[in-house]
Every structure is written in C-alpha cells, then in structure tokens.
Structure 1
C-alpha cells in the first residue's frame, strides 16, 4: 500500500482525476493519499475494477500476480517469460506495453522510478478468483475461439427493409406520444410512473399496446423530448423542434441517445467484431471477452438488445449492418441508409365531402403540424386520415387562425380543391366563433376566477345546466353571465372540448389567442458538487511544508504497522551519517516510532525527527 500511496502523491491533479474516474470506491472517508490507497485496495473496489477488465487485461494482471515477489515487484522480462509459458495469444503479446500502461492507469499496478509492482491486495484478490468464478491464467491468455460467419441464406435486403419499417413505426409512435403530451399533459404518480388513464390515452394516441407505453415514454424522456413541470409531463421545447424534423433526422436523435447509453467497451466490441458475430452467439462472445463482467455488462446487453429491434437495428434477432454503423458512431451515414427505406413524405392531401382529409403518405412535418391545429387525427398509418369539425375549427380560430387563412392553407395542399361542405363548415364556425367569451373575473367576484358571457341568454342557460360542465361549478351572475372558481384557461378548454364556440378575451374585450399545445422548457441540469473534485481539493489542501512531510512520514509508518509490513528505515546518526534498519513498525505515538528490528531481533524506539526516509523492505 505504501507504493500506491506514494504513487498517488506523485501524480498531478489531472492524472489523478483521470485515474480515479476509472475506479469505483468510497470517497466519503478519504482524507489523504493513504486513505485513498486503502479505499482503492478494498475488496469491493477491486472487484468493481476487475469486472471492467477485458480478457487481455485480465491475462496480463494474472501473469503479473503469479510472478510478483513478496514485495509485489516484477520486471518486464519476467512478465514476458510468464506469458510465453502461458502460450499467450498474439493479441496480448503485441499489445503488452499498452496493456501494462492501462493497468497502471487504473491503479491496479504501480509504476515509477524504473520499478513495477502490484499491490498485495490486488494480487491476492485476483488469485483467489482464478479458476473459480474466473478462467485460469492459461485460459485467459489463450487465443479467442474461432467464430464462424453465419451462412443462413437470408436475403439481407428484406431484413433491411423490415428494419426500416420498424424504425419508421417507432419514430411515428414517439412523435404521436410527444404531440399527445403537448395537447394534454400526463400526470406522474407519487410512486413513479404515469397514471393509468393517461397511459391508456397515450396507448390509443400512439396505436401501441398499453404495456409498451412505459418503454416508448422512456425513449422520449432519454432524448429530451418531454419534460416534467410539477406533477405533469409535457412536450419539451426540444421535443417541439424535433417534431418538425424530417423522419430520418428524428430517428437519428433517438438512436444517438440509445448509443450514448451503451458502455464504451461494448461499442468497441460491436464495431470491431460484429461482422463475424452471429446474433445467437453475441452474448456468449461478449461474456467471453469480459469474463468478470457484472451488473454493468448485463445492463449494457439489455440496453443493446431491448431497443435495437424497435430502432430497426435488429430484425428477428439478426443484427443488420446498420447496427455496426450506428455503434461505430457514423450516425450521418446510418441516417442516410435508414432514410432510404422510409416512405417518402408528401405535401398534398385529398379533401373529402364528408369533411375528412386523407394524406396518401406521411405528411411533411410542418404541414402535419399546421393541419392538426384545426383538424383532429382520426387514423394514423402510412396513409393518415384527419377530420375537420366545428370544434376543431374553433380550436384553430382560438389559436390565431382565420377563416381566410384556413381556406388558403387547404387550397395550397389539396389535390381535389376545397369541397363545398368543408368551405361552408369553416365559414359557419368562423361566424359563430366568440359567441361565448371567457375572461378573468374581476376581484369583486372573488372567489370566482373566471367569467363567461354571451349575448345569447339561452346559450348561457344551456351552459348552466350542461352536465358535462358540472366540474366547473358554474353559477349564474346575471342574465348573460356565469362565474367559475377555476382559472380562465381551464374553463376555456372545458368549453372547447364540449364543442361550444368559445373565445378568450381580456378585460377590454379583445380576443386572446390561446394554444393548448403547451411546451415545457427543457430542464437545465442542477449544478451539483463533484465528489471527485471535492476529493482532489481535500488531497491538495494537505500538500507542501515541513509539517506535511512529518505527517506523511507518520502516516507511512502507521500504515505499515496496520499492514504488519517490514520497512527499510533510514535514520540520521549524530555524526551526520545515516544508517538503514530493517524494522517492522508496531506503533507511532507522541512523535516516536516503536518497531521490531528484524535483524537484531530487538525492539527499538526512534524519534520521528531522526528518520530521514522509509522504503519497502527488499525482497528476500
């Protein structure tokens, strides 16, 4: 442990940050380099570090553990000879220098001053697992078993086409989920997850099974397309921009987020070897490469397999070539390849006399968004159907459309002109728009928050007795006026859903434009303290100065006493000379060291001020 503590002390802040970032350990009780060395050599920390090593790294570490002397020291020649004895593969031999450097970077071996050493806890922990839950050293060093390329006669163009279909369906379903949350937020339960009514609504909107909604929602959340506002989930501003992108670009965003959650080690494996891996043997090959892999490997494999099929990277368990392209990071190329299999978008529709709008293919995103402003999606598929109604036109008018703008837009996208029934509906809805007005109630009407007025007293009476509006608790306040204790926007959308020609207005009677499609700001991650940075600050605060050097010496001796290690202690003699003693420290107290002299077999007590240096005892 002394060598590791000394190595930690000699590293720069940047080097130490990079090395500690590769390890898992309990940093809460670390005060100095000795505490850090103890934390890094704890069994849990070592198991976590070993689980992240691939087979070549494990083989080299196993060979080092086998040849290390009592003090853990080894030479490059000894390591090379041991690997020759184990008949190590060419991959290990050719990369030996890089593998040793990687182990040093992970603080599993200590290098410096021309000396290489493996800490005793590392060697002991690894040796106890070899041949038990890990392969033997010889098995680790052996060449990889041959993997035959599958010869299945499957037409890969058919698989690629099916993959594109699955990817397009996923993109479309995700877009519908995001749009549905923009129109009506979904409530988050206190125990986590979406409420059942909202889940059913989203399942219907996305045309998916109810049990698929959580996965679909998670995909949108990971891509930042939805955001939480209080107890409700809404479409985020990023989701609003994403919805206007072409379908291949939408897919690219989803697959990019999926790739980021795959451990880098698995990305490298797929990118390097997927051309020779069959789907059925993929998991076995991954576990062969990472024989000590634990939870991180299982989670990575789950992520790799669960979402791959939905994103069109795998079909019926068979990985496609585009999967390797994505994992390798060439997303632009993958986007172009997957987009070639997507149905081409259209910018024209058929307007029917029954007030339906039929799109012969997926609409351009901007046209689809505009059309949904005053029409309801009735059926979503490659050929989608929309329905125009008085209520939907009223919704568009409330959002800022006019009869003229709606007619002009329909004429610009129609392949069949604007049918007379549709033109009449738009005209009548525009004429009736604003027959009912909703505004904020004045303070004199408190506790009422919203007022409803209409010049048609009979219409006011109808609103008062409408059972579908009973939740608003409407009460009469004059022949042409009603009051409600709910906010004006809540009252407005309740009346709109009940298909009344409602408009919002301000205190001066001017029409207000309301949009139900509400976006939540993409949350900015809260600034959190970095535990690693805090640890580095604590370590740096204890460096420099004579007092620090004395404390460092005392900590070295205390650590050796706890570990029952023998040290070479250099002592200053009265004449200015120095003498080396082979001592086994017993305790350090009151500025003095009490230790057993291994050569003279006597107990010595030395003042710490007389000790010039300490070093590990030479190997016997």
Structure 2
C-alpha cells in the first residue's frame, strides 16, 4: 500500500509529516499507539500506512476523551479527510479552545499538519463514525437552503433527525415523489430535496440541512468538560480497617469453600461452570448470598486454588496450591485473592443473567470470558487512586458518567455496568471500603501483591490471645485470634456470626468433633480456663463432661475394623441394632465386635445410628480419622500475563531503524539488494555491496534472521566481509557483532551517521 496523500496548502503527505517529526515525537507516538510497532516498520512509508489504517485509527480513538473525540469528528464534518482544514474553522464550531485537543490528536497522528492545514487519515471516517457529530453526508447544493417556508410537521421531522443519527426508517420512501403527489411530511421533504432517499425504506438528513436546523449549536449537545464528581472525605484509618475486616471475611469464606469442596467437589457442567444447585448449596453453607458465592468461585479458580479435574466425570477440586494458601498468613491469603480479582479476565457480574439464547449464565461458564475485563476494572480503580487517600465517591452513577466522558468508546454496552460491578466486587474483596480505595488496594495497583500484603498487615489489628465465654455457650473472639487459638476454637465450636468480633457456639456435636480429633475433656477444660477472660460457665463444663462420658466408650480398630467396650451391655445393644447387620458386626468376645468394613465407615454408620464411638490407635489413644480432602495438581492460570510495554530505549532503537530504512531508500546507490540463497557460490551483488561498505567505511541496513528464527534489522558498519561472516560495529550500541552471511536476507547502503 502507498502512504495516504492529502494535498493541502503545504502539499504534505502523512509520510512526509512523520518523517519531519523528531525522534522524541515518534517515540511518544509508538508508545501511545503500540500496534504501530509490531512488526517493526521498514521505513516511514510503512509506518504512515499503518497510522492511517482503519483498525489502528479505531484503537487509537479508544483512549480519547469526549471533547477530543468530538474535535476529531468536527474535522470530519469539515471534510479534513479530503482537504486541509484550518484550526480556526474547527474553533468556530465550539465555545472552548480546541487547540489542546488538536495537540493530542496530532501527537497520536490522528491529525497531521500545522494549524493552518490539518488533515485526517481517510480511514478515520469509517473508524470513528459514518455520521460524525450525528450529521449526515454532505449535499453541497443545500448550503444556502431556506427553511422558512416549512410547515410545523416538517420541522418536527427535521428536528428529530437533526439530533442524530440522521437516518430514518419509513415506508414513505418506497416510491419517488414530487411536490404534486407529496402527502406526508417526509414525502414533502423528499420532494423539496431536504431529505435524501437512500433506499426504499431509508431517508437521510443532509449535513447542510442538519447544521441549519441546529443553528448556533452546530455540533449538537457537546459536553466540553468532565462532569462533576461528588466526593466525601473519610478517615483513612477507618477506610483501611474496614477493608481489612472485609479481607479477613473473604479469607474465612474461601477457607470454608476449600474445605467443603475438598470433601464434596461439585461436578463440572457439560457446558462448563458450576450448576445452580451447587451454587445455592455453597451459599447456604457459607451463609452468604448467591452473588458473593459466585464471586468466591471465580476467585478461587483464577487464583489456582481450584481446578477442573478433567476426568471421565470432571469435578471442581482444590489443587495442591490450596494447602500453601491455607498455611499462609491472613494478609498473604488476601493478596493472592485480590490480585486474582484485579487480573480476572471474566465478568462475574453477568452470573445469573441470560445469554442471547436465553440460557442462564453460571459461575465459571465460558460465556463470562472477557479479555479486556482486567483493563476496564483497573481503569475504574485508578480513578479512585487518582483521588487523595480516604476520598470516597458515594454516587456510582456520577463516577460512571466521568469515566464515560474520559473514554466514551471503551466498555461497550456494559460500560456503566462495569463500573457498578467493580465497586461491588472491590468492596467484597476488600480493595475498596466505604466507597473509597483502601491503602492496601492502592498499593496492590501500584506495587503488586507483596507490598500490598505488608500494607494490609499494618492495617490489621494485632491478633488476640483470648476469648470471652458466655453463659449461653457462645464464645466471643474480640478480634483476630492467634493461629493456634483460632484452630482450637474452630475445632470445638462453630461460627455463628462474623465481623469485627466473631461469635462461636459450643454444642454437643462440636465438642464430640474435638474428641474425634483426639482432644480430651481435660484438654478442653484447660483451653477455656486458660484462654477465656470471663469465668467459664458451669453449663459448658457440664456439656464437656457429659459428652466425654458418652464419647469413646466404644473403641474401634482395624480388622477390617473392631469395636471394643468395657460394658458388655453396650456391646450387646450395638450388636442387636439394625445398623449392626448392615455393617456386618460380629461379637468375638463379650466386649469386642469386629467388621470387615473400614473403620471410618463403621464409625460413621454407628454415629448415624445414635452412638458416639471413637477411633483407637495401636496404643489405645484416640485417632483423628477426618479426611484430609482431595487435591489435584494445579492447572495453568486462565489468563496470559500482559507483555511488558517496551522501554523508551527500545522504542528509540525502533525509530532509528525506521530512519535508517528511509535513508536506505533515498541514498544514491543504496537500493536494497536481496541476498542469494548461497553467498559462497561465487560473486553476488550483495556480497559486493557489503565489501564496498567495508572499504568506504559506510553503514549498511541489514535484515537478517537470528538463531531463533526471528526477523530483525540492524545498522552495521562492516569491518570484515568474508569466510561466510559479516563482522562489523552495530551503530546503535557501539558493539562489534558477527552475522553469518547465510542468515542475511537483504542489505542497503545508508549514510554513515544513520541511527
């Protein structure tokens, strides 16, 4: 393709204008529009072709704010893609200074030329809008049209189309009409030539008529400044501590999810994802709503803590990484989950909605995949990060309006919803709190999960070493418990409510659970005596002792398994129970029963029948037979890490190579020479060119293929050419390099100081 040529007062083409820009401007262009640099352009003509391509222009417009985008559309209204336009012509369409917006467009090469002759790439009209500023195509003959003789009904039609878009669907355009047979307002306007018939059912309002109808507002309603954003100042410490509390709650819920799915993994749906029934069961077990449960499911999978087992009957099973996560400190647990949320390439907010075929969208369903979700989520969070610490944005609609003004072409039809979902999810994850960004969330965005974990650790209160036992058999943890104490209390009591203070309840089943894990009555009495800041109620002591009298009177071992008891009456009671027949229990002594089934199955069967047996080891001590849970190997993360943006040095090197390509194309005698398949076979033009450059001390632009098969380009000053090798100084780096001649694909002479 040839570079676009637009003849203006200076007769400058886009390629010529780019060639005249300094290196810093070209580096800034490549940074603002990274697609232009891949693959590296051979010269400025190639770069100009890419700059003006429809796809590249569309991508470049995604980061433009409303005013800048409107200025670009105004240039198209003035036909800057066909003729140069002075900036003064554009200014007359606005009531604000448009030069800063023109400078932004010029820096992105969406506009080129000086203020007296601005041009846009021809592809801009298709890439930006077929009807810029809501105006139709031009009919120059209507420039001086008089609308004074129109009736009220005709004016209403023109007014509706002038708001935009200028296209209307109507059956009145089915036939060509004249002033003699026009009956409806649209037919009258068609007869007058004030509407243009595009096809049998479509009419279009010409640009000149639309501008006339709009009067002193030629571009319509244009918001030239960013909408106001209401903010509140909150205590930063309160924001951080509130977010820290949410982080602990998130960690607790994920731990419960991993424990539950270790024992009973949910099935993977045939279409992918988790079923509605499984989601409801999880929400009930965690005592949360289904929306939060769905978010937790998405997080654990993206964090690598749960994966698809991919078997004949696939299930969602915790991975071995879950054990590492469970053993980590609370702040590191949170950082893993928060990072997984920020980088989540999916939209959990869609869960529960229906797709185009009226199918329900489940957690982990493939239809939730959105590669651009991390970018859009980070954009919302960075809007908070731009505000002072502790600043809250209470009105989500105002924030959505601000972000829409800053980038109206981003986000698609879900743009405003994405803002709401980000606030809801960010609050649930603990990155946001009280409508503000927490310090740990701010650190996560700027420095990563490691420093964010440390910042959260600073926000968390120190762990407490005591509990408060109440007379109603509840145990209050007045803060985050020390790890050992938290484990002991979780074993002997169940969480009843969580928050700043966690309330546990002790009951017979929880006490028996502690006994099953090997604790004794003395251990539990000592736990509450040593760790409770309040007197231990007598009712709790009675509960522990009563459960201890029942627990372990039956002792099981492996026979398959056996049961023993010092009380022959209890052994007989078990032997005649209906459960004994199913478990195939057989009395081998007045105090001993045996079964061919595994001990765990026998004990579960007896517990279901109302007995309270305990497992016994070879030394007579109580064994903990609780299952450790299933684990599978971790799978690859769902997301692919975004490549690091090129440095200014790398972009500067690319610009130098583009300059060298220009010089190679214009230097006398520097026409590009392709290398023959076998340089060693005899004389060749390329070999002669390289040898000539070595003799004259001139530089050569060399295209070659490196050892990895990757095409590359360098400006080399040859020193030695022979023996199948080109040896010379790499002009960009000042280093001597060697190139096998068989890897060189083309070469061209350039000026000695190129690059």
Secondary structure in 2 matching 1:520? coil
Q: Which residue of 1 aligns with 2:466?
A: 348
Describe the SS at the equivalent of 1:525: coil
Identify the residue that residue 130 of structure 1 maps to in structure 2: 132
Deviations 1:407-447 (A, max 9, x none): 66555423357775466468657754x712357xxxxxxxx
How far apart in 2 are the matches of 1:428 and 1:176? Answer: 34
Are positions 1:287 and 2:399 aligned together? Answer: no
Q: CA RMSD in A?
A: 6.0
Cross-structure match for 1:187: 266
2:298 corresponds to which of 208, 214, 218 = 218
The offset of 1:483, in angstroms, is: 3.8
Match status 1:207 vs 2:287:
yes
- Report whether the alignment pairs 1:272 with 2:272: no
Aligned residues: 479
Q: Which residue of 1 aligns with 2:613?
A: 501
Partner of 2:249: 172
Residue by residue, what CA displacement relative to the aligned partner does 1:165-208 show, whole Å, maximum 9, x if unpaired?
A: 57625742651452254154352362666566655554344333
The match for 1:523 is 634
Larger Rg computed on CA atoms: 2
Residues of 1 paired with 2:453 and 2:92: CA distance?
49
Tell me, in whole angstroms, the C-alpha distance in 1 between the residues paired with 2:37 and 2:527: 57
Q: Which residue of 2 aligns with 1:156?
A: 234
SS of residue paired to 1:297: helix
Of 340, 347, 351 in structure 2, the residue corresponding to residue 257 of structure 1 is: 340
Q: Sort the Cα spacing of 1:163 and 1:522 in 2 relative to 1 into closer, same or farther, 3 A.
A: farther
Alpha-carbon distance in 2 for matches of 1:492, 1:170: 38
Q: Which of 563, 579, 591 is the matching residue for 1:454?
A: 563
Aligned residue for 1:258, secondary structure, equals helix
Does 2:415 correspond to 1:297?
yes
Q: Deviations over 1:251-271 (max 9, x none)?
A: 554444333344244444443
> Is the contact between residue 258 and residue 322 of structure 2 (CA under 8 Å) also seen in structure 1?
no
TM-score between both structures, scaled by the size of structure 2: 0.48
Q: CA deviation at 1:243?
A: 5.2
C-alpha displacement of 1:128: 0.9
Look up the SS of the partner of 1:92 in the other structure. Answer: helix
- Following the alignment from structure 2 to structure 1, what is the Cα–Cα distance between the partners of residues 556 and 101? 80
Provide the secondary structure at the position in 1 that maps to 2:557.
Answer: strand
- In structure 2, C-alpha distance between the alignment counterparts of 1:196 and 1:461, rounded to whole Å: 47
Q: CA deviation at 1:368?
A: 1.4
Post-superposition Cα deviations, 1:322-353, rounded to whole Å, max 9, x if no partner, equal: 69846853678987888888776422124568
Call closer, same or farther: CA 1:385–1:435 in 2, change over 3 Å. same
How has the CA–CA distance of structure 1 residues 341 and 266 changed in structure 2, closer, same or farther, with 3 Å as cutoff? closer
User: 1:308-323 maps to which residues of 2 (within 5 A)?
Assistant: 308-311=426-429, 318-319=435-436
Provide the rounded CA distance (Å) in 1 between the counterparts of 2:218 and 2:124.
19
Could you tell me whether the CA contact under 8 Å between 2:392 and 2:436 is conserved in 1?
no
Q: Structure 2: how far apart are the matches of 1:276 and 1:380?
A: 25
- Paired residues for 1:376-455 under 5 Å: 376-380=494-498, 382-387=501-506, 389=508, 392=510, 395-396=513-514, 399=517, 409-415=527-533, 421=542, 424=545, 428=549, 432=553, 435-437=555-557, 451-455=560-564
Task: Give the secondary-structure state (helix, strand or coil) at the position aligned to 1:516.
Answer: coil
Contact between 2:463 and 2:480, CA under 8 Å: does it hold in 1? yes
* Corresponding residue SS for 1:208: coil
Check 1:93–1:3 CA distance in 2 against 1; reply closer, same or farther (3 A cut): closer
Q: 56, 62, 73: which one pairs with 1:52?
A: 62
State the shift of 1:361 in Å: 3.9
1:352 and 1:123, CA in 2 relative to 1: closer, same or farther beyond 3 A? closer
> Which consecutive unaligned segments of at least 5 residues does structure 1 have?
8-14, 24-33, 104-108, 440-450, 533-543, 548-620
Encode CA deviations 1:261-289: one digit per residue, 9 max, x unaligned.
44244444443368797724111121122
Counterparts of 1:131 and 1:46, CA distance in 2 = 21
Give yes or no for contact 1:505–1:512 (8 Å, CA) kept in 2: yes
Higher relative contact order, chain-length normalized (CA < 8 Å, sep 6+): 1
Separation of aligned partners in 1, 2:640 and 2:246: 41
